[in-house]
Amino acid sequence: MYNVALLGAGRIGQIHAASVAAHPKCALAHVVDVHQPAAEALATKYGAKVSSVEDALADKNVDLVMICTITDTHADLIEAAARAGKAVFCEKPVDLSIDRVRECLAVVKKHNTKLMVGFNRRFDPNFAHLQQSLTSGEIGNLELLTICSRDPAAPPASYVKGSGGLFRDMTIHDLDMARWLLQEEPVSVYASASAVVSPEIKEVGDVDTAVVTLTCASGKIAVITNSRRAAYGYDQRVEVHGSEGMLAVTNVPETTLVKSDAQGVVAQKPLHFFLERYAASYRSEFEAFITALEGESGPAPSGLDGERALILADAALESLQTGKAVAVKL
Amino acid sequence: MYNVALLGAGRIGQIHAASVAAHPKCALAHVVDVHQPAAEALATKYGAKVSSVEDALADKNVDLVMICTITDTHADLIEAAARAGKAVFCEKPVDLSIDRVRECLAVVKKHNTKLMVGFNRRFDPNFAHLQQSLTSGEIGNLELLTICSRDPAAPPASYVKGSGGLFRDMTIHDLDMARWLLQEEPVSVYASASAVVSPEIKEVGDVDTAVVTLTCASGKIAVITNSRRAAYGYDQRVEVHGSEGMLAVTNVPETTLVKSDAQGVVAQKPLHFFLERYAASYRSEFEAFITALEGESGPAPSGLDGERALILADAALESLQTGKAVAVKL
Amino acid sequence: MYNVALLGAGRIGQIHAASVAAHPKCALAHVVDVHQPAAEALATKYGAKVSSVEDALADKNVDLVMICTITDTHADLIEAAARAGKAVFCEKPVDLSIDRVRECLAVVKKHNTKLMVGFNRRFDPNFAHLQQSLTSGEIGNLELLTICSRDPAAPPASYVKGSGGLFRDMTIHDLDMARWLLQEEPVSVYASASAVVSPEIKEVGDVDTAVVTLTCASGKIAVITNSRRAAYGYDQRVEVHGSEGMLAVTNVPETTLVKSDAQGVVAQKPLHFFLERYAASYRSEFEAFITALEGESGPAPSGLDGERALILADAALESLQTGKAVAVKL
Amino acid sequence: MYNVALLGAGRIGQIHAASVAAHPKCALAHVVDVHQPAAEALATKYGAKVSSVEDALADKNVDLVMICTITDTHADLIEAAARAGKAVFCEKPVDLSIDRVRECLAVVKKHNTKLMVGFNRRFDPNFAHLQQSLTSGEIGNLELLTICSRDPAAPPASYVKGSGGLFRDMTIHDLDMARWLLQEEPVSVYASASAVVSPEIKEVGDVDTAVVTLTCASGKIAVITNSRRAAYGYDQRVEVHGSEGMLAVTNVPETTLVKSDAQGVVAQKPLHFFLERYAASYRSEFEAFITALEGESGPAPSGLDGERALILADAALESLQTGKAVAVKL
């Protein structure tokens, strides 16, 4: 039985709490949140106790810590949990600063901590199916990868301000997806981007529309297209062009209802946003984490995956600022 | 808080047990099964006790009874639960004999029992969406309804033998769907059917492939096509042709992965069978039951819905045997 | 070189004239139409002469006659052309009276006339592909056939009056399609139908919405659903359920453009009506006719196909009037 | 009546000859080809005479010249036809050298020649529909354009050698498509490319897989993905992401037949290559050319369109060689 301390009882914390409660080998023991009522609601629902970070980490019975707090607390909490000898799951990113990430991962390494970083999309059943088909050679060698990732609506400027910018906040998911599917590290990053969606985003110096191209030494190319706003909802597609065919994951519609009338043949919009679209991924992610704790190999995606995705995001930003492709060495 | 007694701990009983456990207002109290280990496993998982029917019904704290046992016990159990003053959810059918159904429903009526019959497909999100679009007038008046319902593989002859035959066992779901969508009772039933899938089914005198046509007084027509075996998996589609358009619910693929290669553009097969395809419907069905218990109007689908679907199934069988359309009066 | 006399310069005559002109082995020689300007326009366009039926049939150089006139002239013209020793293509139907059809085909037989009846849908590339896949055994044995055939808008009552009714006018195409795909003659026909689309159609005693079920001795079943009006346009689909899979031909959209916005994911409507939807079929049909003239086996679909489709249409009408399935012997 | 001289009787010349013959206002007068039998076959088929370039251009009755010869003759022939006072349609490209293109267009300008360059994809009904929806504001402002263009199989090295390379030979079509849809000239081009498909292509110093990003001053971005080989056939898709929605043109399948079996739900591959996929575009292109000859505004796409697409292709090549984004000024 794994006893779990949940740090952060917000939207994503609630999702992980449900996964913990549903897992036959896990129990939710502590819930911590700066907003007390949120912690209480969740603790009550699952029979856990409301705690502080200190108490939760001091509890010898706690085996693993789920970090679902705001971004700038992640690295500190990972380090504290590592020092306390707990296994750690942390929502992405480890930190927005690559130097801080490296410091943190050094602590993780020193304590031999089992750390999983929350790139949940790897666990989406559709993308997982694509990845399995690809690695089993169903379309030969990957040659060209295209990732389309567009949010339904731009976040408020206040969020954007502290987000680290489009590449570190949003594209980072796609960069991890690209690394996972390419099975080879990119050596070059080029980004073109603009702020055409939201004047507020422009004002805070960020971009909302982007095309990022990754090139590998072997000649494989990946291209990511992002937008902070898609009028038709959350657009999450991946296409892999290989030597013997193509694999594509399309969007998941809200229902399969199709209406044909004088206006046309109307299918439903994609599931609206990440909570609906990736609901299954969060459950599978947690199961994979527990499985990894019981196995010999560490959890994946690991801290290193978190670091590398951030390096690529930083390179994209540098490319945008310089107008040149940026060489990366991972 | 509703305390629930679950009668029957098989495949479908396990599904309902999970719905009970996940419902914030319900707790699983008793589990009954002639196969003791099945009852024990389920009781342990959800903190309930293993019981007998008698003890479960005698328990004053039990509010509702979920009947998930084999068909020929349904009517007796409904009556016993009604006499014990419990609310009742019963898997379809109430009974294979229309006379026995009527007797049973008389008892239900006498005791003013809240009874829901498990036509779960009404609660599938896709079909529910279709029904809402239809009743809100999105395609004008319904004129022609087509229901396609095909199982992935024929059941063993032993099952078929006691099933009541294709119409009472399988088509009955589609007959309920038709009544629900037509919003008008059929006045005539015609069935054409044959045993071309399975020699065993032929041997026991049943059919495995059928077309059933229902006609309403207003001129609305519904047609159901059934097969006991679809090589591509579970095929569950509905199409409503109305005066201003068409609504169609297509199958739900296992994943959205599509592979294009020299063979063609290959999408995934439909979700394999009812446990996967209708997983969401069982949860919504149970929620609707609890909501109905708290409201003034009784649960739907009701015992009357169970009776009427069976009348239509019996009429289909009579039509098949006589080669004539059979008039029905519901 | 085949010299062709075209009888009837209306909408469908113009289509066949273009096929004749485009065929490397054919030339349009005569155009006949009671409406002189129509005949002149077509004759001028393709370098043919305006003629009378008598002159066209008397012309020794004429090898084949295309009959595209109104229905009640078909049988007389076929006979006249047969007596004149010409090969004959005739638009469906041969006649609305089965007795007249038989008389006519007796003349055709006596003169050993090569006669093709215009069931053009057999030559649609999509349906032809389905038929080839089916006959090559790609889905094993056919068990259940469903044909959906719905027009974009109801014709005027004046047309309906002289049309022979829904079954002989519209369903007859689907009955031929069914015979072609079943590869076995139906032994029983049941029809349910109503007039819910158009009060004018009701007034003239016809129906506009129908479900026709055909049963074969081997157990194969076919079901046809018809409507005189589909708000989303011309709906022409076929689905074959076989022992090893399913083959389906869906509609052809006007273009492949898909718009996703706040309303949903909107694809284009089907090609609007038969002239657009079946444009390719008319060309292939004519090519098949010419190929048949050069071969040893006669053209297909033949006069017999025309006769049998009409017998089934008549049986459907009888079934509708009697409320019973009608036995047929083809 | 326009008399047409056709220069080049190869594959594409034959297509244009058919368009000329089918056009009510045009007649094919001269056919010229270095391979005499090809010229004769085409001339015979359409009642034209076999000619030399000199004789065709000297013929006062010739109104327009269709240039369908090999690329390195285009510019000379355009100039000669311009000097002879003819209207000119020329297959893309005008020339592989931008300097030669400019010289040639200077001659065209001097003689006030009506010149159309064969970017036929603008006339594909699907892309034309997309462009109309876009320009009529159906999805607000264009923000992000993605063009997928992949050939079914790599051409022989001999062809590649003289083709001007992937960007000038293949991508140029997509660059024209991008300019047409962006309705704004790109200011920057970045290309990433590799030779992973074909060792022969690598040997001759060309690439076969590419991603090209175009950026506009307003912030609009376009990305083109190319491959010389798609195992599933000719892949031609366009997607426009706008402020109020998305427009997408998908591939056109060979037929609409879909087979569902134990392997999955298998739709047909896209139409195999440009002759099938763009058959309709060639007809519309020629009609647009004739319409332009009768109007006041010149034909489009014009010589300038040809020049600009080539400038972008050259910029893509420079970007690939330098690893930097290349600024362009059109």
Mind listing the pLDDT tens digit for each residue in B76-132? 999 999 999 999 999 999 999 999 999 999 999 999 999 999 999 999 999 999 999
Of B289-298, B316-325, C244-253, D276-285, the poorest mean pLDDT is in B289-298
Q: What is the predicted pLDDT for the residue at B45?
A: 87
**Residues A267/B272, Cβ–Cβ less than 8 Å:** no
Across the interface, do B246 and C223 touch by the CB < 8 Å criterion? no
Residue D51 to residues D21, D33, D115, Cα–Cα distance (Å) = 18, 8, 22
Q: Is the peptide bond before A37 cis (omega within 30 degrees of 0)?
A: no
Q: What is the pLDDT of residue C112?
A: 96
Mutation pick from D243, D256, D263, D265 vs chain C, by most beta carbons of C within 10 Å, is D256
For chains A and B, CB pairs below 8 A equal 78
**Token pair in block for residue D122:** 């603008």
Are the Cβ atoms of B210 and C221 closer than 8 angstroms? yes
Strand C257-261 to C2-7 pairing: unpaired
- Mark yes or no for CB contact A268/C264 under 8 Å: yes
Q: Which residue of A has its CA nearest to C232?
A: A261
Q: Give the distance from residue D273's alpha carbon to the nearest chain B alpha carbon, in angstroms.
A: 14
Residues of chain C contacting B192 with CB distance shorter than 8 Å:
188, 190, 213, 215, 221, 325
Touching A (3+ Cβ pairs <8 A), the chains are B, C, D
Give C24's pLDDT tier (boundaries 50, 70, 90): confident
Nearest CB to B227 within list C209, C230, C241: C241
Determine contact, residues D262/B231, Cβ cutoff 8 Å. yes
Q: Is the pLDDT of residue D330 over 90?
A: no
| Beta carbons of B232 and D266 less than 8 Å apart | no
Q: Which two tokens stand for residue A198?
A: 């939201």
Q: How far apart are CA C188 and CA C326, in angstroms?
A: 5
Contacts of C218 in chain B (CB under 8 A): 194, 196
% of chain A exceeding 70 in pLDDT: 100
How far apart are alpha carbons C77 and B255 in whole angstroms?
Answer: 58
Cβ pairs bridging B and D (under 8 Å): 48
Best of D249, D259, D281 to disrupt the C interface (most C CBs within 10 Å) is D259
Question: How far is Cα B198 from Cα B202, in angstroms, rounded to an integer?
Answer: 6
pLDDT in tens, A42-90: 999 888 999 999 999 999 999 999 999 999 999 999 999 999 999 999 9
B16-38 in b/e form (b: 16+ CB < 10 A) is bbbbbbebeebbbbbbbbeeeeb
Cβ-defined contact of B126 to A250 (cutoff 8 Å): no
Structure token digits, residue B129: 């969406």
Q: Which residues in chain D have their CB less than 8 angstroms from residue B262's CB?
A: 231-232, 269
The length of chain B is 330
Query: Is the pLDDT assigned to residue A207 strictly greater than 90?
Result: yes
C272 vs chain D: nearest CA distance in angstroms?
Answer: 15
Whether D85 and D31 have beta carbons less than 8 Å apart is answered as no
Q: Which residues of C touch A (CB under 8 A)?
A: 230-232, 253, 259-269
Q: Does the pLDDT of residue A330 top 90, yes or no?
A: no
**pLDDT category of residue D45 using cuts at 50, 70 and 90:** confident
Nearest-CA distance from C308 to chain D in Å? Answer: 27
What is the reported pLDDT for C215? 98
Closest-CA distance of chain D to residue C128, Å: 10
Q: Using a CB-CB distance cutoff of 8 angstroms, which residues of chain C are in contact with residue A255? A: none
Other beta carbons within 10 angstroms of residue A55's beta carbon come to 14
Collect all residues of chain A within an 8 Å Cβ-Cβ radius of residue C265. 232, 253, 266-269
| CA of residue C138 relative to chain centroid, distance | 26
pLDDT band at A208 (very low <50, low <70, confident <90, very high): very high
Measured between alpha carbons, how far apart are the two ends of chain C, in Å?
A: 37
Number of neighbours of residue B99 by Cβ within 10 angstroms: 8
The predicted structure's pLDDT at residue A297: 81
**Mean pLDDT score across all residues of chain A:** 96
Residue of B231, B224, B272, B266 whose CA lies nearest to B251: B272
Please state the rounded mean pLDDT for residues D152-170: 94
Nearest Cβ partner for C260 among D126, D246, D250: D246
Instruction: Select the residue of A230, A265, A269 nearest C267 (Cβ to Cβ).
Output: A265
The stretch C157-165 carries a mean pLDDT of 92
CB contact under 8 A, D265 and B260: no
Long-range CB contacts for residues D82-87, cutoff 8 Å, separation at least 24: D82/D107, D82/D108, D82/D110, D82/D111, D82/D113, D82/D115, D83/D107, D83/D111, D84/D57, D84/D58, D85/D111, D86/D5, D86/D57, D86/D62, D86/D113, D87/D63, D87/D113, D87/D114, D87/D115, D87/D293
pLDDT (average), residues D206-217: 98
What's the rounded Cα separation, in Å, for the pair B129 and B212?
A: 24
Contact flag A188-D323 (C-beta cutoff 8 Å): yes
Please indicate whether, in this complex, the C-beta atoms of D193 and A243 are within 8 angstroms of each other. Answer: no
Map out the domains of chain B with their CATH numbers: 2-113 (3.40.50.720), 122-327 (3.30.360.10)
Q: How close C302 comes to chain B (CA, Å)? A: 29
- A135: Cβ–Cβ under 8 A, 6 or more apart, which residues? A183
Of the pLDDT bands very low, low, confident and very high (cuts 50, 70, 90), residue B192 is: very high
Provide the pLDDT for residue C49.
95
Please answer yes or no on whether D211 and A218 come within 8 Å at the CB atom. no
What is the arithmetic mean of pLDDT over B315-320? 98
**Using 50, 70 and 90 to split pLDDT, how confident is the model at D295?**
confident
Residues in A whose CB is inside 8 Å of some CB of D read 139-141, 143-144, 146, 148, 150, 188, 190, 192-197, 209-211, 213, 215, 218-221, 223, 225, 227, 229-232, 235, 241-246, 323-325
Interface test with D, best of B237, B250, B255, B265 (most D CBs within 10 A): B265
Average pLDDT score, chain D = 96
pLDDT at D296: 81
Question: Which pLDDT score is estimated for D24?
Answer: 85
Strand order in the sheet with A26-32: A49-50, A26-32, A2-7, A62-67, A87-91, A115-118
Cβ separation of A232 and C266 shorter than 8 Å? Answer: no
User: Would you place residue D154 in the very low, low, confident or very high pLDDT band (cuts 50, 70, 90)?
Assistant: very high
pLDDT at B266 (0 to 100): 98
Chain B nearest-CA distance from D260, in A, is: 6
CB contact under 8 A, D209 and A215: no
Pick from C57, C61, C56, C32: which is nearest to C111 by CA? C57
Using an 8 Å CB-CB cutoff, list chain A residues near C262. Answer: 231-232, 269
Task: Tell if the CB–CB gap between D223 and A245 is shorter than 8 Å.
Answer: no
Residues of B in contact with A245 (CB under 8 A): 259-262
Q: CA-CA distance, A221 to D116, in Å (whole number)? A: 35
Asked whether the beta carbons of residue D260 and residue C245 sit closer than 8 angstroms, the reply is yes
Q: Do C247 and D255 touch (CB under 8 A)?
A: no
B230 by Cβ neighbours in 10 Å (0-12 / 13-18 / 19+) ranks as buried
Name the region of D142 (left: φ>0; alpha: ψ -120 to 50; beta: rest): beta
- Name the pLDDT band for D130 (thresholds 50, 70, 90): very high
Question: For residue A288, what is the enclosing H or E element?
Answer: helix A279-294
pLDDT of D22: 86
Burial of D58 (0-12, 13-18, 19+ CB in 10 A): exposed
User: What confidence score (pLDDT) does residue A295 get?
Assistant: 86
Cβ pair A218:D197 closer than 8 A: no
pLDDT of the residue at C246: 98
Question: Chains meeting B at 3+ CB pairs closer than 8 A?
Answer: A, C, D
Nearest-5° Cα angle at C182, C270 to B171? 80
Q: Are B219 and C188 within 8 A, CB to CB?
A: no
